[in-house]
Structure 1
Amino acid sequence: MTGPRSFLLLRPAAGRVAEVVAYYREHGVIEAAVPYGVVEGELLHPREDPGDLLVTSLWAGPEGYAAWRAAPGRAALLAGLSPLLDTAGPDAVRAWTAPAATAPGDVYHPGTPLVVAHSVGTGESRLGLRASR
């Protein structure tokens, strides 16, 4: 059974997009969710205006996603990420799920070319792009 696709929209503080990407890579944020059932995950941003970031992950089942949302390790990673986010606005972090077949471009900057900043799982994104380094 393939579970949901999760989405986590992040709004970095002004000028801190690269630091958020580095944090995800250096701390293995998506990789930390693999034991909970992440099959593949990506950190995306619009090619032309990377003012926000989207983390999307495909899960083996809904139970694993629920367990990850409650995991102390996830809370610690988000706490470390918090200083890099625009916490002045109400939507510094926003999470939701959709059916597994939902493409990131359907819900995040539709019609805009996206860049994969970090990828875990298959090595190639659903967008057919390799992660940039």
Structure 2
Amino acid sequence: MKVLLRFFSYLFHGILALFLVAVSGLTLASGGQSLHLGMLPWTGSTLTRVVFFGSIGGLVTLVLAIRGWLRVLFFIWSLGAVVLLVKGYIFSGYHFGAGEARMAGYLTIASLVALAGAWFQMWRTVGRTRRY
């Protein structure tokens, strides 16, 4: 079960970070400030830069966690994603469009499951091969 949670955590955060890099990267490349994510506390060019560099950081922590280095950073990234989703969707004045509440619920639940996987990956033992 722990292996499946770890795999789901890597997959979820990998897809999330790649999606956010693509969206914010296209916004930066176009020179516009048209990125609107109402559930996040930033706006304008600050939002675009925070999402871009934050998702790059998420990808770096993902690679480090898969390699077995600084796994606590991946847990912190996962916790940050959960906090921003819960705060943005549940505890803010964000108004949902048609069908958006269901997707936000699925995304929040998936991030909580991925957080459990990130917790378990922090404590996994890495098997080392012996060289003779």
Same fold, TM exceeding 0.5?
Answer: no
Structure (1/2) with the larger helix percentage: 2
What is the TM-score of this pair, normalised by structure 1? 0.27
Richer in strand (by share): 1
With structure 2 as the length reference, what TM-score do the two structures score?
A: 0.27
Q: Radius of gyration: which is bigger? A: 2
